[in-house]
Amino acid sequence: MRAADKTIYRLFAFACVHLAVMIGCSAQPSIGNGLENNGTENLQEGNKPTEEEYGMEIKALLELLEDTSAPASDRAAAAYELGKLGNKAVVKRMANLLPGDWDVVTLEIVIAFGKIGSREALPVLIEMRDTKRLWMPGRMKAAIEWAIGRIQKASTP
């Protein structure tokens, strides 16, 4: 990919994320803020287009999320938007970013996994849950448990 293309993708992702924030979307949803019912339609198999069908939007959001030099708030907003889109094609690339720094970006990726509902996210989520960290933020632990439970519930017949 040419440098000019990367710049265009980043600008597009930045615009998408900030437009979502301007119209009232939060880059930091809380666990107790309706997540139980948010994105239920994403859990049905095959109802979302592939990454190619979303085209530039998903690619730009993934690139922003993977850019460790970008501000954490922008990366978290990109993860939030990817969760809202609900495309299972992004799970593998997002999983490669975990466990991360256990910050707001990590939290948003975990929540996005719960919204997307793909079993492909389970190994990394279970590994994070079972880690022997001296300290884990309470919201993070709750988000991990929520995402695991939601994915398991969605994948049972």
Dump pLDDT digits (tens) for 16-45.
Answer: 555 554 444 444 443 443 444 444 444 444
SS3 69: coil
pLDDT of residue 43: 42
Report pTM.
0.67
What six digits make up the tokens of 128? 């994070």
Dist CA 71 CA 39 (whole Å): 26
Over residues 10-17, the mean pLDDT reads 60
Instruction: Find the DSSP H helices in the chain.
Output: 3-22, 51-54, 56-66, 72-85, 91-95, 104-116, 122-130, 138-155
Q: Supply the pLDDT for residue 81.
A: 94
pLDDT tens for each residue of 129-140: 998 776 777 789
Q: What are the tens digits of pLDDT across the range 63-84?
A: 999 999 999 999 999 999 999 9
